[in-house]
Amino acid sequence: MNFLRGIFDRIILVIAIVAAGCIPSFIAQYRQRVGGRLDQVNLDLAPFQAIANQFHHGSLQELIRYHLASPDATFHKEGAAIQLMVESASRLQDSYTALGGSLLNQMLYLSAHTDLKIAQDTWQIFAPSFGLSWDHVMFALTLGVTIWLMFLAGWWLTRRVVTRYFKVK
C-alpha cells in the first residue's frame, strides 16, 4: 500500500506543479485576446470619433445622444450600436488594465471578472507553456504543493476510513 501511495504521491506532485505552472500562460493568452478585442472595438469606433470631432466637439456621448434623439429608427438604432461599442471598449480597457498587474492581482481579478466567452475562446487555442520567472515558479510550486497536500490528506483520510470501518490493514 505504501509503495502504491508513493508512486501516486510523486505523480500527483509533478502533474500538479506542471499544471499550475501553465496557469500564468493561460492568463497571458487571455490578456492578449482581451487586447485584440480592445484594439478591434477602438478601430470600429474611430470613424464615429472622427464624426464626433467634426460635429460634436469631440464628444462621442454627444454624437450618441444626437443619434438616439433622431426620429429615424435606423439612425436611432445606430446610436444604440455606437453606445454598445463605447461600453464594450470601456469594459475591455478595464479588463486589460487589471490584467497588467502582478500574477496575484491577475488571478484575483479573473476569479471575479472572467468573461466566459473570452475564456472559452482562449482555451480553444491555448498553447501551454511554463514560465520561468520568479513569480511563475513560486506560483507553480505553491499551488502544486497545495494540491499534493490535499491528495495526501485525502489518501490518509481514505486509508483511515477503510482500516477503521472495514477492518483492512
Residue 2 pLDDT level (bands cut at 50, 70, 90) = confident
CB count in 10 Å sphere of residue 135:
12
Residue 92 pLDDT level (bands cut at 50, 70, 90) = very high
Question: Among residues 127, 130, 129, which one has the least CA distance to residue 138?
Answer: 130
Residue 142 CA to residue 17 CA, distance in Å, equals 8
**Does residue 64 register a pLDDT over 90?**
yes
Assigned C-alpha cell, 63: 454624437
Structural domain spans, the chain: 2-165
- 159 contact partners, CB below 8 Å, separation of at least 6: 1
Give the model's pLDDT for residue 118: 97
Which strand (E) or helix (H) includes residue 37? helix 2-55
| Amino acid residing at 125 | I
Q: Are the beta carbons of 60 and 86 closer than 8 angstroms? A: yes
| 136 vs 2, residue with greater confidence | 136
Q: Are the beta carbons of 28 and 125 closer than 8 angstroms? A: no
Q: Are the beta carbons of 123 and 115 closer than 8 angstroms? A: no
Task: Please state the separation of Cα 59 from the chain's center in Å.
Answer: 32
% of the chain residues with pLDDT over 70: 98
**Does residue 20 register a pLDDT over 70?**
yes
